[in-house]
Structure 1
Amino acid sequence: MSEFNFVASAGRVIDIELQAINEIRQYINGQFTAACEAMLKCSGRTIVIGMGKSGHIGNKIAATLASTGTPAFFVHPGEASHGDLGMITKEDVVLLISNSGETAEVVNIFPVIKRLGCYTIAITGNPSSTMAKLANCHLQVTVSQEACPLGLAPTASTTATLVLGDALAVALLEARGFTADDFALSHPGGSLGKRLLLTLDDIMHKAERVPCISQHSTVTDALFEISAKGLGMTAIVDEFGRLLGLFTDGDLRRVIEQKVDIHTTSIATVMTQKCTTAKANMLAAEALNIMEKKRINGLIVVDDSNKPIGALNTQDLLRAGVL
């Protein structure tokens, strides 16, 4: 096997595709604005159509639009000609993709789409193409060369089209005021949804599972409570059940190193008084951020009267898929 410089080849591809992305900046103009405005005011869905590699890119663009607040789905042009055009309504915006702008399977369905009265957006690399002329709006994605040395395999052109699709999706997201909570609603089953939707009330230990001892307890009592509840800490409360402080297994190690008598020493003298707490309605992701910043492994959750009602540690966040 002859020696071949794979690294140099990969570097050349990346350079060409970076150039392609930079080249399409010049085409972000009034036509791009018109496309965004049409999609923004659309009362239906954005239907994305493309053949071959353009179809694969179109599928991803449709998925990105749908997950960022713009209802969208992909329709294969071959299937469209055999019944799937019935999925398109006059309220929809149709986004059609072809680098040449002459792909027969896509061009052939233009008359039906136009007859429905749909607003059409063509993404092509040829402003003089049939698709560019037929569409209400044309988004040009012309690249100077493909990364394929034969100039045959769609590479730089598909990358540029994908970037343009992301630009559309993000521009629309920002125009809609789409929030993290909105995003979570379309991703409830994944880790993103968990990070955005779960509150501490969903995952914290409650009732008798909350490690808690009286201020009159000893360090030994704290040790037993920490061991029994398995959260690496215990809350210390006054006679009214209000939080006074926190004692962790890390505090226990320090106390032992100081040769303090754990059997007679009051927990109130060695506890951390100004401890970090949380509320039950706090997002789990927010709690994780606090724990990481303060470099702590657990949190006591208190109510409006500063009484412990819950507790959790990093293992709970890990099990919930937040960490």
Structure 2
Amino acid sequence: MSSSVEYTSSVPAVSPGPDAVASRPPMTAGRKIRAYVELTKPRVIELLLVTTLPTMIFAQRGFPDVLTMLATLVGGALAAGASGAFNCYIDRDIDRLMKRTERRPLVTGEVTPREALVFSWTLAVLSVLILGFGANWLAAALGVAAIFFYVVVYSLILKRRTEQNIVWGGIAGCFPVVIGWAAVRGTVEWPAIVLFTVIFLWTPPHYWPLSMKYKRDYQEADVPMLGAVASARLVSNQVVLYAWATVVCSLLLVPMGWAGIVYTAVALGVGGWFVWESHVLQREAQRDDFEDRKAMKVFHLSITYLTLLFIALAVDPFVGEPLMQVAVGR
């Protein structure tokens, strides 16, 4: 983690333009707090928590201990927030070049680079302590790994160097499910690996459509997201392949003897919808008049898909037995 400070020390300081300074309202405590919250990328945290809690319920086959559950959710949220804040610190030079990110606190000057860095490290340390003492130290170690992957592997090493950045850097977003599983069961088992892999495979067809929409932004910032450096046809082909892989992987819980009727039905239903819309995107991408909003439909649908899949994961233990147990008459 110390390498992040060393690497980013060469990044030029980002100062807001004179127009931004002139139009900026006076700094208040409330506005400062909102700026710090924005650094954590709260919408990303929400999505990560949507996968963590259902995984804990599924692993426990019921509701886990309240204190363990709260410690895991709070610690996980702080780890994700620390990762987001570190990312804002590292990317402050390119964020000012992109319309999608030009209002982030480090670009507008609402938070200084030093404040952001101290804030990031504080959240990271707190997250590890809460996960360690509130859940167990395996969960805490996995939290450290999640931060490392997002900050070092993705933000520092991959993001500006390869079009496959989100594929391998996206591993960071897979850790909440294994953190949740480890918090409940004290180990990482095959069902947790399957859920980890589902999110790993889901990340490219989730993010690449967004990069198609903001293609010009990434080109301006010289960030080689696949959607910015490849044709819409190539990107849509990749989206279809990853969407299929995601859905197939999600169904592995059935023959493993963990998934019941609720999870299986939802995985098939929303999975089929996700794959269908990916194929629609692929077909539309062949047209010369292809519109970015087609890609954004898949982006938004991918969020709905993952949310419904994990809601079903949480409901499943309370509705009947796993299908494989029923099939063999157990």
TM-score if structure 2 supplies the norm length?
A: 0.23
TM-score using structure 1 length: 0.23
- The answer to which structure has the higher helix fraction is 2
Q: Name the larger-Rg structure.
A: 1
| Higher RCO (C-alpha under 8 Å, 6+ residues apart) | 2
Q: Specify which structure has the higher proportion of strand.
A: 1
